[in-house]
Amino acid sequence: MPDHTDKIAALIGSRICHDLISPVGAITNGIELMALSGADQSPEMALVAASAANANARIRLFRLAFGMASEGQRTSADEIRTILKDVYADSRIAVDWQPEGDFARASAQAALLAVLCAETAVGLGGEITVKHANDSWEIVATATQLKADPDLWAGLSNPANLPDIAPRDVQFMLLPDHLTRLGRFCRYRLADNSIALEF
């Protein structure tokens, strides 16, 4: 019997994101309507609004990164750029998505999984730059205080040696498997203040 584990995981990711995006969006819309009606803009209300907006953006990011990517499905650079801007708007991380146009959903998914890997290295603050040329992706994370677990990063090139991981690091398990299905291989370079992924 074929192993459908990856497909099941993607379907679960899509289902969770699909079911959560509507109620979270409704909360965001409700807060906006309250503001338009002249409701008091207290610090508590501002916190709820910011949290709802961030949750909405994270769900959209997770749907692209962890959900199903159907054959022939496309994703635009404008959509990705908007999602990343919303996700990292109030964080210490800046993401510079440079590619333009649109991409096969599966290819963009690999890039976003790589962004989530890079995010773990610059959690204290830094910049993630995404480039795409000649059908190849390069994701570079830079920070004055880079926090990169060498075992996790080595697992991207050699998944058989990937250590037991925490849920927050699941992208390190998914990215090499996803790239294998695309017929690609991940290379990375780790320096004192930067880390780069190429595939």
Res. 72 pLDDT band, cuts 50 70 90: confident
**Which of the given ranges, 112-116, 158-162, 168-172, has the highest pLDDT on average?**
112-116
**Domain containing residue 64:** 1-68
Pair 90, 105 in one domain = yes
Pair 13, 109 in one domain = no
Pair 185, 103 in one domain = yes
Domain boundary among 50, 68, 86: 68
Per residue in 11-21, pLDDT (tens digit) is 676 677 667 76
Overall number of domains in the chain: 2
The alpha-helical segments, DSSP class H, found in the chain are 5-36, 43-66, 77-87, 105-121, 150-157, 171-181
Per residue in 25-56, pLDDT (tens digit) is 777 778 777 777 776 677 877 777 788 888 88
Pair 57, 122 in one domain = no
Pair 82, 97 in one domain = yes
